[in-house]
Amino acid sequence: MEETYEFTKEDLDEIEAIKAKFPEVMPATLPTLWVAQRRFGHVEPPVQRLVAETLGLPESHVHGVATFYTQYYKERKGKYVLDVCTTTSCQLCGGYKMLHYLEDKLGIKAGETTEDGLFSIQSVECLGACGYAPMMQITNDVYVNNLTEEKLDKVIDSLKDGKMPEFESVGMPLLENINNK
């Protein structure tokens, strides 16, 4: 039997508020999928269907939107989803090396989840932090920049302890510093 999903009263209120922001229902698809993912931890097909029903939109449309973005989990993921960027800048600075290091360390391949359900790895496209390459993002949240193997070891350890890494602020290099070099 397929699990059934239902939004809570608060979710529905929030969805109504989202809908009110747009002249049409369609643009509410993205934020409503977020509400769903936050509630259920994923947007598997039955959840996509719930979103479609709630918004009165075609199921196919919601499915198309959900599959467009890696940030929506179309299947259950581990507690921590490690999105390692492998687009150009990160790739040149060792993105794949970082990805493969993580894969070996956790014993899974990109796209898979560890047996204890703690970690999933995904290889993703540019996250817009090319200046800090190579980088990754954890569960659509904190960015971890300038990755090295040691840094990954530390991050994994702290995640195992249930601690998300701190947000690292990386300042823009000052113009005069660049000119002086």
Partner 1 sequence: MPEIFIDGKRYEFEEGEDRGLLQFILDNGKEVPFFCYHPSMSAPANCRQCYVKVGTPVKNRETGEYELDENGEREIRWFPKMQTSCTTQMQDGMVVHTQETSEEVARAQKDTMELILINHPLDCPICDQAGECPLQIQTYKYGPEGSRFEVKKQHKPKRIQLGPRVTLDAERCINCTRCVRFTDEISESHQLTIVARGDKNYPMAAPGREFDDPYSMNTVDICPVGALTSTDFRFKARVWEMNQTPSIDITNGKGTNIDLWTRDNLVMRITPRFNGEVNDHWMPDAGRDAYQRFNENRLSRPAIKLDGDNQSKTSWNNAIETFAETLESHGPEDVLVVGSPHASVEENYALMKVFNLWGVNNFKFAPHIEEGTGDGFLITDDQAPNTSGVKLLGYEESNDLASEVKNTKIVIMLSDELIDRGVLSKDDLKGKFSILLSTNECDTAKTADLVIPVTCIAEHAASYVNVEGRIQRSFPAKETKYTNRSLDLEMNQGRLDRFGTNFDNWVTEENKVDCAPAWEIMNQLANRMGLDVSFGRGREIMEEIAGSNPAFENVSYERMDNEMGINLNPSNKQEATA
- Show the CA angle centred on residue 138, arms to residues 17 and 109, nearest 5°: 125
**Quick one: 41 or 46, whose CB is closer to partner 1?**
46
Does residue 136 bind ligand FES (CB under 6 A)? no
Which CB, 8 or 88, lies closer to partner 1?
A: 88
Considering only the stretches 52-60, 134-142, 143-151, 167-175, report the one whose residues sit in contact with partner 1 under the rule CB under 8 A.
52-60
Task: Count CB atoms within 10 A of the CB of residue 157.
Answer: 10
Strand arrangement of the beta sheet that strand 119-124 belongs to: 119-124, 80-85, 136-138, 143-144
Nearer of residues 15 and 129 to ligand FES, judged by Cβ: 129
26 sits near ligand FES (criterion: CB under 6 A): no
Are 41 and 79 spatial neighbours (Cβ–Cβ below 8 Å)?
Answer: no
- Per CB under 8 A, 54 contacts partner 1: no
Among 62, 82, 121, 136, binds partner 1 (CB under 8 A): 62
Tell me the longest C-alpha to C-alpha distance in the chain. 67
64 binds partner 1 (CB under 8 A): yes
**Candidate residues 19, 42, 61, 79; the one interacting with partner 1 per rule CB under 8 A:** 61
144 binds ligand FES (CB under 6 A): no
The correct pick among 8, 60, 88, 158 for binding ligand FES (CB under 6 A) is: 88
Burial class (CB in 10 A: 0-12, 13-18, 19+), 116: exposed
Output 51 or 159, the one with its CB closest to partner 1. 51
Q: Indicate the burial class of 3 (C-beta count within 10 angstroms; 0-12, 13-18, 19 or more).
A: exposed
Q: Which helix (H) or strand (E) holds 120?
A: strand 119-124
**In this complex, which beta carbon is closest to partner 1, that of residue 67 or of residue 158?**
67
95 three-state secondary structure: helix
* Cβ contact 122:139 at 8 Å: no
Residues touching ligand FES, count (CB under 6 A)? 12
- If you count them, how many residues does the chain have? 181
Does position 63 interact with partner 1 (CB under 8 A)? The reply is yes
Residue ranges that bind partner 1, judged by CB under 8 A: 45, 48-49, 52, 58-64, 67-68
